[in-house]
Structure 1
Amino acid sequence: MSTPSSTVEVLAPPAAADDSAARWRMLALVSFGYFAVLIGMTGIAPAFPFIARELEVDYQRIALLATAFLAGLAAGHIPSGMLATRVGMKRVLVMGVLVQALANAASAFVTSYAELLALRFVVGLGASAFASVAVAAISAWFEKREITLALGIATASNSTGTAVGLYMWTFLVEGAGWRVALAASGIVGTVVAVAMVFAFRTPAHLTKLRGTSVTTHALRQTLGNRQLWIYGVAFIGVYGAYMSAVHLISGYATSTGKFSATAAGLMAAFIGLAGIPGSIVGGWVADRTDRCRRLMIGPMVAIGLLVVSVPFVAAQALWLVSIGIGFLMQFTAAVWSSVPHRFARIPHEHAGTGMGLLLTIAAVGGFLIPAAFGHLVETAGYVAGWAFAGAMAVVLGLVGLFGADVVDGQKGGQ
C-alpha cells in the first residue's frame, strides 16, 4: 500500500522539472519580444533626416521624438508592473508588445509632427509595459540558477534589435521611405505578440503570476526598497548618455562630414552589435562572482568617458568608441537588470513593479539628457552636448557605491 508521501510524489512532480523543460523556450519568446520592442524604438532613428525635411522641423524637435518615446517609457513602468500583479504577467507582456506595434504602424500615416510626437509617446507606453514585466518573467523561470546569464541573453536581443533598427532599417528608409519603415516595425511587433499569445506561460508553481491582489503593504515594501532607488539613480546618467548616442551619433557623424549617411548608420548599428557579446559576457561573469556592484559602476564610468571623447577623436576612432559604448552598456545592463531579484530580493509577483521603479528612475535620464543634449548642440555646439552627457554618466554612476554588494542567498537592504 502506498504511503501518503509516495502518492504526493506521483501526483505532484517537483516544480523544478516543469521549469527545466520550458524555461529556455520562455526565454526565447521574451527575447523575441525585446527584439521587436527595440526595433520599434530605434527603427525611427535612420528616418530622422527624412522626417525633418518632410515635416519641416529643426534638429531640436527631432531630438524630442526620442524624448517623447522615453517619456512614455517612464510613465508606464510602475503602472504596468502593478497591472501585471493584478491581471497576470502574460497579459501585460502581450499588451505591451502589441500596443507599441500598433502605434508604430499608425505612425506611417501621420500628417503632422504633433501626431508623430504623440504616437512616439504611445510607443514608449507599450514598450514600458513589456520591459517592466519581461525581467520578472525571466527571473521567475531562472530563479534557481543562471539568472544573470538568462538576463544577459535577453539583453543581447535588445542589442540585436538596436542593431537591426539602426542599420537594416536604413535601407528600408532609403529604399521604400520612412513611412514604410515604421509600418514594418509595427508588423514585426504584431507577429511577436501573436506568438506570445499562443506559446508563453508562467511557471506552474508560481500561481500568483497569473494574477493576485495588489496590497498597500506590498507596494510600500517594493517602492520604498533602498537598493532599487540607489541603483536606479546610478543608472540615470549612463542610460541618458547611451540613448543620446544611439539616436544621435549618426546625425552627428553625417552633419560634421565625418561619414556618409550609410556609413554613419552602420557605425551607430555597431553600438547595438557590440552589445550582443557585452550582455552575454556580463551575465556570465555576474553569475560567477560575489562582487556584482563593481560590474555595474566600472562600466558606467567608462561609458561616460567614451561619450565625452566623441567630438575629440578622429573619424575612424568613432568606430571603436561606438563599439565600446555598446559593449559596456549591455554588459552593465545585464547585471543591473538582476537588481530586483539579487540585490533587493523582491517577490516574483511584485518584481514587475520593482523593475518598473528601476526603469522609471533611469528613464529620467533617458528623457532629460537627450533633450538637454539637443538644446546644447543648438546653442553651444556638439562638444558641450557630448561633454554634458558623458559627465552625467560618470557622476551619477558613482552613486552606486552607496548600494549593497549582495549575492544570491543574502538578504538585500530595504
Structure 2
Amino acid sequence: MTQDSALSTDADEQNSATGRTQNGGRPAKKIGGVRWAIAILLFFGVLVNYIDRSSIAVAEGHIREDFGLTAGQMGIVLSSFGWSYALMQIPAGLLLDKIGIKWVFRTATVLWAVSCFLTALVSGTALLILARIILGIAESPIFPGAMKATGYWFPRSERGTATAIFDSGQRLSNVIGFPLVAMAVVTFGWRGAFVATGILSVIYAVIFFIGYRDPKAAHRAGRLTKPELDHISNGGAQDEDAPRPNPLANLGYIVRQRKVWGMSVGLGCAGYTQWMLLTWLPGYLQSSLNMDIMASGIFTALPWLVAVAVEFIFPGWMLDHLIRIGKSGTVVRKTFIIGGMVLAMTVVGAAFTTDVMWALIWITLGTCGITMAFCVTNSLPALIAPEGGVGAVGSIMNSVNNIIGVSAPIVTGFLVQATGNFNLAFIVAGVILLIGVFFYTVVLGPIEQIPSAAEREGAALAS
C-alpha cells in the first residue's frame, strides 16, 4: 500500500470519528445504535465462551483428586482444549469467509453447549480430554468471527471501543466466572459446575440465533436505519457483499504477508502468559499462597476486574479519542500494543515474593498489560486484511496465538512439578513477552490494509 493510501486511511478514521462529511463539513444526521447492540451480543458470546473454557481451572484440584493426576498430567488436561482450538482456527476462518458469520456461529454455539454437558458426564481422563477437544473445535470461530463482525459493523474510528467491548468478555469471564464456578464446585461438585456452564451456553445460542444479522441484512429486515448503515459503510467498514475470493487461494496469499506474522507471533507471546494465568492462577494461589478454593476464585477475579477498567479507558476510549483528534492510527495502536507488552513483563515480579498483596499487584499489572496488547491486536485483522479476508487473517493470528499459548499449561505444569513452585514459570513468561515486543516492533510494520492479490498484480502491471 502506498503512503497516500495510508494517509487516506487515517483521514477516513478521523472523518468518521468527527461525524462530518468530507466535502461539506456539516454534522452528520442523527444515527442509531444498533451496531453497539451487536458489540454487546459479541461480548456475551466471548464471556460465555471463556467461562466454559476456563472453569476447569477452578475445578482443577477436585479433578486431580478424583482422577489421581500429577501436576504434569493435569497440565496436559488443561491444555487439551487448546490443541483443537488452535488447529481449527484456520478452517474456522475460511468457513467464516465462505459461509458467513451467522450460520457458523449458530452451529458453533450449539456444539459448545453440548461439549459442556459431556464434560460433566466423563468417567475418566481420556474422556475428559476428548470433551475438552470438542469444546476447542466448537469455540474456534468466536474470535475470528467477532473480528469479522466488527469489520462489518463498525467504522475504523470506532474499532477501539468496539473491540474493547467484545474483548472485555474474556476478562470479565474471570471476574464473574471464577467466583461463580468456584461457588458451583463447592455447592454441586465439579460436574454440577459444568452442567451450569452448559445451560448458560444454550441460553446464548438461542439469543444469537434470534439476534444476529450482518448490517445490510439487518437493514433489509428493518432492524438498522439507513443513516446508521451509511455511517458504518462510509467510515471504512468492510463490505459484507464484496466478492469473496477463493478461500484457499486467499489463504496462500495471506500467509506470505510479513505483517500477518508480526501481528500473530507478537500476540502469541502475550497469549502464552494469558494461558498460564487462565489455567494455573487458581492453582498458584491455592498451592503457593495457601488459599482455599473460594478465596482463590475471588482473588483470581481481582486482576481481571482491574484489567477490564484499563481496557475500556486506554485501548478503548483513549485510542479512539487520539485518532479522532488527528493522531496516526499506526502510531497510536503500536504505542498501546508495545506499551502493554512492556507492562505485562511485570508479572515476573510474582516469582520473587510470597506476600499475597505483592503477588497480586505484580499479577494485576501484568494482566493489565496483556489486556492492552490483546485488545488493540484483536482490532488489527479488520484493519489490515485484504477485502474478504478478515476471517482468514483473524484465524491465522488466533491459530499462532493458541499454538504458542497452549504450551503454557504444559510447560508451567512440568516446571512446577520439577521445582515445587511457580517462580521459574513466571520468569519464562517474562522472557516470552520480550520476544513478543520484537515481533510487534520490527516485523509488524505500519498498520494499514494489505492490498488484495488482484490489486497487487494490477499495480505491478501498471508500473
* TM-score normalised by L of structure 2: 0.80
Aligned positions of 1:184-199 closer than 5 A: 184-199=196-211
Give a deviation string over 1:206-259, Cα, whole Å, max 9, x none.
Answer: 774699563444223323222111011112222111211122122112212443
What percentage of aligned pairs have identical amino acids? 20
Hey, what does 2:373 align to over in structure 1?
332
Q: Decide which of 386, 399, 410 is 1:360's aligned counterpart.
A: 399
Report the secondary structure of 1:111's partner residue: coil
Contact 2:93 2:144 (C-alpha < 8 Å) held by counterparts: yes
Hey, what does 1:36 align to over in structure 2?
48
Q: CA deviation at 1:412?
A: 4.7
Q: Is the counterpart of residue 58 in structure 1 residue 70 in structure 2?
A: yes
State how far apart, in whole Å, the 1-side matches of 2:306 and 2:109 are. Answer: 24
Hey, what does 1:286 align to over in structure 2?
319
Contact 1:233 1:396 (C-alpha < 8 Å) held by counterparts: yes
Change (3 A) 1:52 1:147: same
Report the secondary structure of 1:61's partner residue: helix
Hey, what does 2:293 align to over in structure 1?
261
Aligned positions of 1:228-377 closer than 5 A: 228-281=260-313, 282-287=315-320, 288=322, 289-290=327-328, 291=331, 292-306=333-347, 308-313=348-353, 314-342=355-383, 344-347=384-387, 349-377=388-416
Unaligned stretches of 5+ residues in structure 1? 1-15
Change (3 A) 1:224 1:18: farther
Give a deviation string over 1:279-316, Cα, whole Å, max 9, x none.
Answer: 2121223222421112112211321231x221312221
Hey, what does 2:92 align to over in structure 1?
80
Change (3 A) 1:178 1:19: farther
Aligned positions, number: 394
Contact 1:304 1:394 (C-alpha < 8 Å) held by counterparts: yes
Report the secondary structure of 2:112's partner residue: helix
Say what the alpha-carbon RMSD is for the aligned residues: 2.4
Contact 2:262 2:444 (C-alpha < 8 Å) held by counterparts: no
Hey, what does 2:167 align to over in structure 1?
155
Report the secondary structure of 2:121's partner residue: coil
Contact 1:173 1:180 (C-alpha < 8 Å) held by counterparts: yes
* TM-score normalised by L of structure 1: 0.89
State how far apart, in whole Å, the 2-side matches of 1:212 and 1:194 are. Answer: 28
Contact 1:92 1:130 (C-alpha < 8 Å) held by counterparts: no
Hey, what does 1:9 align to over in structure 2?
none
Contact 2:45 2:204 (C-alpha < 8 Å) held by counterparts: yes
State how far apart, in whole Å, the 2-side matches of 1:144 and 1:368 are. Answer: 34
Q: CA deviation at 1:151?
A: 0.3
Q: Decide which of 250, 255, 260 is 1:218's aligned counterpart.
A: 250
Unaligned stretches of 5+ residues in structure 2? 1-27, 218-237, 453-463
Report the secondary structure of 1:57's partner residue: coil
Corresponding letter in the other structure for 1:229:
W
Moved more, 210-219 or 220-229: 210-219
Q: CA deviation at 1:124?
A: 1.4
Contact 2:263 2:444 (C-alpha < 8 Å) held by counterparts: no
State how far apart, in whole Å, the 2-side matches of 1:412 and 1:213 are. Answer: 15
Contact 2:94 2:247 (C-alpha < 8 Å) held by counterparts: no
Corresponding letter in the other structure for 1:147:
R
Q: CA deviation at 1:413?
A: 8.0
